[in-house]
């Protein structure tokens, strides 16, 4: 009986350890390119947002995600929208994004398989993944973005204080001083 209990406990710990690691995926992007999570993670953390055009909380969340994308893209963050409209709704995605000035990349999860593998149960769901594939943060429903920004501040390398205060100065060359 003790052996069975110990085995069950080991399996529970092992499965919970794997639950915090994001499974890789390879989805079509909105422009036809392939989007693979492992390739994105080589550049830095990835913020996945599972959404659909018919989801009102998803629509409300888009401006905050665009703001996060604009602020952190140059620091290595990839914001990736994972659309869950299904095959019949895909013709609505481009006009939806254009009308809202959304510029971060979008992947199409037409059959919902990535949503299922990521254990997403509600839309919108936002998942922050560290470069080592660890799921750092998971938020289901509409968010104000504060927890995401707090986690990003820890994950992303901070600029050196000297870089923020004093931008690099142009050095004079001997020819320019004349």
Tens-place pLDDT, residues 38-90: 999 999 999 999 999 999 999 999 999 999 999 999 999 999 999 999 888 88
Q: Cβ distance 135 to 45 under 8 Å?
A: no
The DSSP symbol for 65 reads H
Q: What angle do CA 86, 90, 95 make, to 5 degrees?
A: 145
Q: Is 75 exposed, middle or buried (0-12, 13-18, 19+ CB in 10 A)?
A: middle
Domains and CATH numbers, the chain: 37-156 (3.40.30.10)
User: What number is the average pLDDT over the span 153-158?
Assistant: 82
Q: The pTM is what?
A: 0.77
Does position 1 have pLDDT exceeding 80, yes or no? Answer: no
């Amino acid at each position: 009986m003790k052996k069975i209990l110990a085995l069950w406990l080991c399996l529970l710990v092992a499965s919970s350890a794997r639950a915090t690691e994001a499974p890789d995926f390879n989805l079509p992007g909105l422009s036809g390119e392939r989007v693979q999570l492992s390739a994105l993670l080589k550049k830095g953390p990835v913020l996945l947002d599972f959404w659909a055009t018919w989801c009102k909380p998803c629509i409300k969340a888009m401006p905050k995600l665009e703001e996060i994308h604009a602020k952190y893209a140059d620091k290595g963050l990839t914001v990736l929208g994972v659309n869950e409209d299904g095959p019949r709704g895909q013709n609505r995605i481009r006009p939806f994004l254009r009308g809202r000035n959304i510029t971060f990349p979008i992947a199409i999860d037409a059959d919902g398989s990535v949503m299922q593998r990521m254990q997403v149960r509600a839309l919108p769901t936002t998942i922050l993944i560290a470069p080592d594939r660890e799921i750092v943060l998971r938020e289901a429903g509409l968010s104000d973005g504060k927890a995401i920004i707090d986690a990003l501040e820890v994950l992303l390398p901070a600029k050196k204080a000297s870089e923020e205060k004093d931008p690099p100065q142009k050095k004079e060359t001997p020819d320019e001083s004349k």
